[in-house]
């Protein structure tokens, strides 16, 4: 992984590895993983896959929801060795490999299925990661993934930025940048995937206030999930006055009628296939036998049929 900062390498991958390694050693991580558990439970695909790969597997959030009827053998890859040492039990035979999501150490055309759940948002070079996934898939293999999207924690982000502008005359990022859904399909297509499906979902969690949001994020995402910010341009601390102002702004702009405040997590779900001759393909351009102009004649044809 890149060791330098910049627009093409926004994240400190070595720091992310340390964060995830430390998070995996916490006493009761299962209590903190509700988002990963919920998203991981949606993984799976049609038919049976002899060999599957889980990219950024963490403690095995996907594996525990798979059965022998869907996957015969699973390779789990993560940048953090401690996460792989503390994987949850699964009925599927698994092999754990320590590797970076951007540099998959597998031969071309190896896997029938590649899965990834809430890991790719920390990748510096997402186009490269998609190309790596496409390369290790067999022809007619499928990639099924989920990642945090652009509107994740927008309430917290806006409140902190407005408070910093007011109290400090400028702001720094406290929530990591996310990919826009409008770019996702294009990136998958450029990597070589076809028959694409991209969907979005939102999970909203209510809290008493901003401080509880921050505490929960630090507890669940920093301690347990290793989801603390690792951007090179992150700010190390927030002033107390800025936090108090942000809490008031959060409540004023986004507060619920019962006094609680929402925290929104946007999830992008994606499916893409690697090309194979057996797959259905669009008809050649100009081969249509019906013109769109004929649509105007439908009413007349229907009325004749009734007579």
pLDDT in tens, 120-149: 887 888 899 999 999 999 999 999 999 988
pLDDT above 70: percentage of residues in the chain: 67
Domain boundaries, the chain: 13-277
More confident residue, 234 or 64: 64
Which run of H or of E encompasses 267?
A: strand 261-273
In 3-state terms, the chain is what percent helix, strand and coil (to 5)? Answer: 35, 20, 40
CA pair distance 231, 175, nearest whole angstrom: 9
pLDDT in tens, 225-283: 334 444 444 555 677 888 899 999 999 999 999 999 999 999 999 999 999 887 766 66
CA pair distance 199, 201, nearest whole angstrom: 7
Residue 71's SS3 state is strand
- β-partners of residue 117 are 146
Which of 136-148 are b and which e, b meaning 16 or more Cβ less than 10 Å from the residue's Cβ? Answer: bbbeebbbbbbbb
Q: In angstroms, what CA-CA distances link 194 with 86, 110, 182?
A: 35, 18, 16
Q: In angstroms, what CA-CA distances link 129 with 10, 46, 150?
A: 15, 24, 18
CATH architecture of 13-277: 3-Layer(aba) Sandwich (3.40)
Residue-level pLDDT at 149? 87
Q: For the chain, state the CA radius of gyration.
A: 23
Find, among 84, 225, 254, 72, the residue nearest to 155 by Cα: 254
> For residue 225, what are its two tokens?
């999930």
CA pair distance 285, 49, nearest whole angstrom: 34
């Amino acid at each position: 992984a890149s060791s330098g900062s910049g627009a093409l390498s926004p994240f400190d991958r070595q720091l992310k590895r340390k964060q995830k390694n430390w998070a995996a050693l916490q006493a009761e991580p299962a209590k903190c993983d509700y988002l990963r558990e919920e998203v991981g439970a949606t993984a799976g695909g049609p038919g049976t896959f002899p060999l599957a790969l889980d990219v950024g597997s963490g403690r095995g959030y996907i594996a525990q929801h798979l059965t022998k009827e869907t996957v015969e053998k699973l390779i789990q890859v993560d940048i953090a060795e401690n996460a792989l040492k503390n994987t949850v039990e699964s009925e599927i035979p698994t092999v754990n490999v320590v590797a970076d999501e951007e540099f998959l150490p597998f031969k071309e055309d190896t896997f029938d299925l590649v899965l990834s759940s809430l890991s790719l948002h920390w990748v510096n070079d997402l186009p490269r990661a998609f190309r790596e996934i496409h390369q290790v898939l067999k022809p007619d293999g499928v990639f099924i993934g989920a990642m945090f999207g652009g509107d994740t924690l927008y309430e917290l982000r806006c409140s902190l930025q407005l408070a910093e502008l007011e109290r400090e005359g400028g702001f720094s990022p406290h929530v990591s940048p996310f990919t826009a859904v409008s770019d996702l399909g294009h990136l998958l297509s450029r990597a070589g995937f076809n028959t694409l499906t991209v969907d979005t979902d939102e999970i909203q969690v209510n809290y008493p206030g901003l401080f509880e949001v921050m505490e929960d994020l630090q507890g669940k995402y920093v301690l347990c999930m290793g989801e603390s910010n690792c951007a090179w341009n992150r700010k190390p601390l927030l002033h107390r006055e800025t936090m108090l102002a942000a809490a008031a702004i959060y409540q004023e702009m986004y507060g619920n009628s019962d006094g609680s405040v929402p925290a929104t997590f946007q999830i992008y779900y994606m499916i893409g296939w690697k090309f194979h001759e057996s797959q259905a393909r669009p008809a050649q351009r100009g081969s249509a036998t019906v013109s769109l102009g004929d649509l105007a004649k439908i009413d007349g044809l229907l009325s004749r049929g009734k007579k």
